[in-house]
């Protein structure tokens, strides 16, 4: 995947901007609140996903403008494509002059992996952050997985709705049987997918982490299932009574987690701040490799504000030693740019490019 050109009009604080990118490394630099993350976000949106900032579609339009626009020329699967997004109350997308029903249709045509400071929560946050990371990443490679997840979530919701009645109305058992079958069947698939992809990520994690940190620590990501996939159906049945009091489904992959271990101990509890940040970046860079392994093409790599909290060695690694894919990186500190051996530099000030 390679982005050649980006044109923005009335997108966030950017009135108009034109970019022609380097095929490998692009550094977007400028002071705070000038529009660097906005540029990264505009590229990310072409994946068809929601903003990594969790913003509403209407917030993309520049204050005072009626609508915003972004245009992207990119190469995917050896073919040159042009895509356009129009932002007003909602957003619409056009691919190669064809109106798409839904921007989500761009998924799989344009692929990117983004790292933003909020991703530190992959290490420090609750299990739902790590499940979401895995699910988003697997869904990017296998859109079918998203259907399995949706079906699973629906079945859990339906079980939750009736489980409370179980304590005084045993006749709900027949319905519970139906939903638990569904949970068990889809849950098994989810666990299988997640374990497989975590296994593939583990193939890249040690190499990237040691390159990034220069350290010798052993890093591993281990899937922690709260229930054996084969036993899920039985376990759900056993848990009926207890669940009827709590009103939730206590077994299944919606309660699973990933243990991130550094030298065998929990990174969440024992890693330093710098190590945690390196682990979070490592996970994202490992995704790029696995997506390449599966699809034969690297996604583009969007790194927002990673430089500020990394030491010089880690900064150099990011700038000059990650290769194979196209990178976009934002930074405030102009000295980072002098360390860049080759690539494009874009200076952003007050929503303009210089």
Residue (106 or 348) nearer to Mg ion, CB: 348
Residue (105 or 350) nearer to ligand ADP, CB: 350
Q: Per rule CB under 6 A, is residue 32 in the interface with ligand ADP?
A: yes
CB of 176 to ligand ADP, least distance (A): 48
One symbol per residue from 33 to 72: x for binding ligand ADP (CB under 6 A), - otherwise; what is it? xxxxxx--------------------x-xxx---------
CA distance 251 to 242: 11
One symbol per residue from 194 to 223: x for binding ligand ADP (CB under 6 A), - otherwise; what is it? ------------------------------
Tokens of 321: 């030693």
Instruction: Please identify which residue in 9, 25, 27, 30 interacts with ligand ADP, judged by CB under 6 A.
Output: 30
Do 280 and 315 form a contact (C-beta atoms < 8 A)? no
Residue (61 or 163) nearer to ligand ADP, CB: 61
CA distance 305 to 79: 31
Pick the stretch among 26-34, 174-182, 252-260, 294-302 that binds ligand ADP (CB under 6 A). Answer: 26-34
Pick the stretch among 32-40, 253-261, 289-297, 339-347 that binds ligand ADP (CB under 6 A). Answer: 32-40
Residue (12 or 240) nearer to ligand ADP, CB: 12
Contacts of 174 (CB under 8 A, 6+ apart): none
Token pair 């193939």 in the structure block, residue:
203
Closest by CA position to 116, among listed 53, 55, 54, 59? 53
How long a stretch of residues is the chain? 354
Residue (36 or 314) nearer to Mg ion, CB: 36
The entry of ligand ADP, Mg ion, none near residue 61 (CB within 5 to 8 angstroms by kind) is ligand ADP
Backbone angles phi, psi at 168, to 5 degrees: -115, -5
Q: Per rule CB under 6 A, is residue 91 in the interface with ligand ADP?
A: no
Total residues contacting ligand ADP by CB under 6 A comes to 14
Q: What is the DSSP letter of 29?
A: E
Instruction: Please identify which residue in 2, 7, 13, 162 interacts with ligand ADP, judged by CB under 6 A.
Output: 13
Residue (37 or 336) nearer to Mg ion, CB: 37
CA distance 151 to 178: 13
Contacts of 120 (CB under 8 A, 6+ apart): 276, 277, 280
Pick the stretch among 28-36, 157-165, 268-276, 281-289 that binds ligand ADP (CB under 6 A). Answer: 28-36
Contacts of 193 (CB under 8 A, 6+ apart): 138, 142, 145, 148
Across the chain, which distance is largest between two alpha carbons, in Å?
Answer: 72
Q: Per rule CB under 6 A, is residue 342 in the interface with ligand ADP?
A: no
Q: Per rule CB under 6 A, is residue 186 in the interface with ligand ADP?
A: no
Tokens of 72: 């992207």
Buried b (16+ CB within 10 A) or exposed e, 292-318: beeeeebbbbbbbbbbeebeeebbebb
Strand ranges, E, within 147-217? none
CB of 308 to Mg ion, least distance (A): 10
The entry of Mg ion, ligand ADP, none near residue 34 (CB within 5 to 8 angstroms by kind) is ligand ADP
Binding site for ligand ADP (CB under 6 A): 12-13, 30, 32-38, 59, 61-63
């Amino acid at each position: 995947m390679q982005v050649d050109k980006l044109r923005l009009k009335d997108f966030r604080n950017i009135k108009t901007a034109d970019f022609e990118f380097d095929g490998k490394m692009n550094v977007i630099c400028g002071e705070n609140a000038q529009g660097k993350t906005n540029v990264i976000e505009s590229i990310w949106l072409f994946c068809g996903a929601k903003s990594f900032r969790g913003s509403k579609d209407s917030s993309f339009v520049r204050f005072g403008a009626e609508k915003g626009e972004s245009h992207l020329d990119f190469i995917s699967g050896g073919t040159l494509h042009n895509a356009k997004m129009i932002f007003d109350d909602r957003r619409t997308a056009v691919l190669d002059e064809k109106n798409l029903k839904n921007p989500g249709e761009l998924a799989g045509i344009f692929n990117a992996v983004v790292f933003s400071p909020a991703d530190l929560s992959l290490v420090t946050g609750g299990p739902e952050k790590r499940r979401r990371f895995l699910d988003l990443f697997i869904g990017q490679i296998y859109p079918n997985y998203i259907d399995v997840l949706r079906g699973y979530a629906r079945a859990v919701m339906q079980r939750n709705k009736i489980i409370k009645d179980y304590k005084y109305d045993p006749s709900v058992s027949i319905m519970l049987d139906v939903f638990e079958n569904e949970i068990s069947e889809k849950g098994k698939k989810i666990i299988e997918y997640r374990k497989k992809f975590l296994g593939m990520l583990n193939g890249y994690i040690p190499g990237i982490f040691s390159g990034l940190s220069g350290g010798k620590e052993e890093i591993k990501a281990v899937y922690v299932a709260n229930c054996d996939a084969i036993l899920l159906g039985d376990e759900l049945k056993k848990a009926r009574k207890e669940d009827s009091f709590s009103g939730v489904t206590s077994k299944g992959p919606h309660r699973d987690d990933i243990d991130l271990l550094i030298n065998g101990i929990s990174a969440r509890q024992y890693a330093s701040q710098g190590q945690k940040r390196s682990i979070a970046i490592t996970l994202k860079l490992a995704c790029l490799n696995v997506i390449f392994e599966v699809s034969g093409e690297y996604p583009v790599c969007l790194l927002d504000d990673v430089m500020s909290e990394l030491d010089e060695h880690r900064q150099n690694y990011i700038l000059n030693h990650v290769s194979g894919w196209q990178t976009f990186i934002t930074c405030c500190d102009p000295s980072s740019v002098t360390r860049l051996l080759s690539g494009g530099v874009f200076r952003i000030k007050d929503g303009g490019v210089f």
